[in-house]
Amino acid sequence: MKTALEILRERFGDAIRKDLKGLAKQSHILVTKNEIVEITIFLVQNLRMRFLFLSGSDTRKENGAFTLHYIFSYAQQDEFLVVETRIEEKDPSFLSLSPFLPQANWQEREIQDLLGLIPKGHPDPRRLVLHEDWPEGLFPLRKDFKFQAKIPRQKGEYAFERVEGEGIFEIPVGPVHAGIIEPGHFRFSAAGESILKLEIRHFYTHKGTEKSGEGRSPAHLLCLAERISGDNSLAHVVACAQALETLAQIDVPPRAQFLRVVFLELERLHNHMSDIAGISLDVGFSFGASQLMRVKETLLRLNEQVAGTRLLRSAVPLGGVRADISEARKQWLMEQIKKIKEDFEKTIQILWQVDSLMDRIETTGILKKEIAETLGAVGPAARASGIDRDLRRDHPYGAYKDLFFMIPVFSDGDVESRMKVKVQEIYQSFKLIYDALRAMPQGSLRGEIKPLIPSQSALGYVESPRGECFHWISTDGHGKISRWKVQSPSFANWPLIEYAVLENIVPDFPLINKSLNLSYSGNDR
Partner 1 sequence: MNPVLLSFLQLLFLMILAPAISWFIKKMKAASQNRIGPKLAQVYADLWKLCRKDMVISETASWIFHAMPFVLFAATLAAASMVPILWNHSLFGFMGDAILFVYLLALGRFFIALAALDTGTTFGGMGSSREMTLSSIAEPALLLSFFALGFHARTLSLEGMTAHFANASSLQILFFTSLAFGSLLIVTIAESGRIPVDNPATHLELTMIHEAMILEYSGRYLALIEWGHQIKQLVFLTLLADFFFPWGIATTGGAAALGLSLVFYLAKVFGLAFVIGWIEIHSAKLRLFRAPDLLTVAFVLAILSLLGQLIIGRGV
Strand segments (E) across 221-325: none
- Region class of 123: left (phi > 0), else alpha (psi between -120 and 50), else beta: alpha
Select from 47, 354, 403, 445 the one that contacts partner 1 (CB under 8 A).
Answer: 354
Q: How far is the CB of 270 from partner 1 (least distance, A)?
A: 18
Residue number with CB closer to partner 1 (326 or 349): 349
Select from 91, 359, 388, 448 the one that contacts partner 1 (CB under 8 A).
Answer: 359
Q: How far is the CB of 357 from partner 1 (least distance, A)?
A: 4
The DSSP symbol for 377 reads -
Q: Are strands 185-191 and 168-173 parallel, antiparallel or unpaired?
A: antiparallel
Residue number with CB closer to partner 1 (203 or 509): 509
Residue type, 59: T
Select from 219, 406, 439, 505 the one that contacts partner 1 (CB under 8 A).
Answer: 505
Q: How many CB atoms lie within 10 A of CB 189?
A: 20
In angstroms, the CA 110 to CA 126 distance is: 10
Contact status: 443 vs partner 1 (CB under 8 A): no
Q: Would you say 83 and 104 are in contact if contact means Cβ atoms under 8 Å apart?
A: no
Residue number with CB closer to partner 1 (311 or 415): 415
x/- map, 251-290, partner 1, by CB under 8 A: -----------------------------x-xxxxxx-xx
66-96 b/e (C-beta count within 10 Å ≥ 16 → b): bbbbbbbbbeeeebbbbbbbbbeeeeeebbb
Contact status: 30 vs partner 1 (CB under 8 A): no
Residue number with CB closer to partner 1 (118 or 358): 358
Distance set, CA 387 to CA 44, 377, 523 (Å): 16, 9, 22
Contact status: 291 vs partner 1 (CB under 8 A): yes
Contact range with partner 1 by CB under 8 A, out of 198-206, 219-227, 301-309, 506-514: 506-514
Residue number with CB closer to partner 1 (294 or 329): 294
Residues 6+ apart with CB under 8 A from 466: 232, 271, 378, 379, 380, 488, 489, 490, 493, 517, 518, 519, 522
383-394 b/e (C-beta count within 10 Å ≥ 16 → b): bbbbbebbbbbb
Q: How far is the CB of 180 from partner 1 (least distance, A)?
A: 9
Q: How many CB atoms lie within 10 A of CB 207?
A: 13
Q: How far is the CB of 498 from partner 1 (least distance, A)?
A: 16
Contact status: 510 vs partner 1 (CB under 8 A): yes
Contact status: 134 vs partner 1 (CB under 8 A): no
Strand segments (E) across 467-524: 467-475, 481-487
Residue number with CB closer to partner 1 (347 or 490): 347
Residue number with CB closer to partner 1 (356 or 442): 356
Select from 508, 521, 522, 523 the one that contacts partner 1 (CB under 8 A).
Answer: 508
DSSP string, 132-183: TTSPTT--TTSTTS-TTPPPPP------PPP--STTEEEEEE-SS-SSS---
In angstroms, the CA 248 to CA 240 distance is: 12
The separation between CA 467 and the C-alpha centre of its own chain, rounded to angstroms, equals 6
Q: Which of 300, 298, 306, 301 is nearest to 322 (CA)?
A: 306
Q: Which of 170, 200, 146, 122 is nearest to 516 (CA)?
A: 200
Residue number with CB closer to partner 1 (4 or 512): 512
Residue number with CB closer to partner 1 (284 or 477): 284
Residue number with CB closer to partner 1 (91 or 359): 359
x/- map, 294-323, partner 1, by CB under 8 A: x-----------------------------
Q: Would you say 310 and 301 are in contact if contact means Cβ atoms under 8 Å apart?
A: yes
Q: How far is the CB of 492 from partner 1 (least distance, A)?
A: 25
Q: Would you say 40 and 34 are in contact if contact means Cβ atoms under 8 Å apart?
A: no
Contact range with partner 1 by CB under 8 A, out of 5-13, 111-119, 427-435, 508-516: 508-516
Size of the site for partner 1 (CB under 8 A): 30
Contact range with partner 1 by CB under 8 A, out of 240-248, 269-277, 324-332, 359-367: 359-367
476-495 b/e (C-beta count within 10 Å ≥ 16 → b): beeeebbbbbbbbbbbbbbb
Q: Which of 67, 202, 195, 248 is nearest to 143 (CA)?
A: 67
Q: How far is the CB of 267 from partner 1 (least distance, A)?
A: 25
Contact range with partner 1 by CB under 8 A, out of 57-65, 146-154, 228-236, 350-358: 350-358
x/- map, 362-401, partner 1, by CB under 8 A: --x-------------------------------------
Residue number with CB closer to partner 1 (295 or 486): 295
Q: Which of 402, 365, 405, 400 is nearest to 385 (CA)?
A: 365
- Point out which residues pair with 464 in neighbouring strands: 467
x/- map, 172-201, partner 1, by CB under 8 A: xx----xx------------xx--------
Which residues contribute to the site for partner 1 (CB under 8 A)?
171-173, 178-179, 192-193, 280, 282-287, 289-291, 294, 354, 356-357, 359-360, 364, 505-510
